[in-house]
Structure formats: C-alpha cells, structure tokens
Amino acid sequence: MSGDATEGRSGRQSGRAELVQRITVLLGEIEALGQRADDVPPPILSEMRVILENARRVLEACTQRAKPDTDGDPQPDVDREILERMYRALGTGRGAKR
C-alpha cells in the first residue's frame, strides 16, 4: 500500500465491479433454476422474472456509477474577472479600515 489517495478508490471500484459480476452470475443461476422447475406455479415464475429484471436494472445503475472519474475531484468553474474584482474590492476595503 503506497498511501496514494486514488489507491483506495480504485480498490473499492474494482471490488464493487467484482461484486456486481458475482451477483449477475447468481441472478443467471436463479433464472436457470426457475426455467427448470416443473412444480412452480406460473404466477410465481412471472413474479420471479420481474424481480430478476428489477435486480438487473439496479446492477446496471451500480455499474454506471462505478465508472472511475478521469478528472479526479471536480473543481468549480470560476469566473476569473469576477474573482479579480472581488479581491480588488477586498484589498481596497482593507486599506480604508486602517
């Protein structure tokens, strides 16, 4: 461990990606079991398919959020002209108080 701040973030992201992949495989196995079940009533099978589809949507949302930031921590957009005027005004006000 080098102590780099991005090291922890990338470790969490790769761990999340592995977890999403594992859950995706398990959902596929559940679906396969449901297709092979002869004694399960059709309404329960339909409900299972809806639940699996919802779970897949949640996993898709997780993978969209898990994509690494290429820019790192986002910074605000600053209007330099306004910032300069603000500092000039602060400087002028400070001189007048003395």
Q: 29-52: per-residue pLDDT in tens?
A: 888 888 887 888 888 888 988 999
Identify whether the C-beta of residue 16 lies closer than 8 Å to the C-beta of residue 66.
yes
- Tell me how far apart the alpha carbons of residues 90 and 98 are, in angstroms, rounded to a whole number: 13
pLDDT (mean) for 81-86: 84
Whole-prediction pTM: 0.49
- Tell me how far apart the alpha carbons of residues 26 and 32 are, in angstroms, rounded to a whole number: 10
Does residue 68 or residue 76 have the better pLDDT?
A: 76
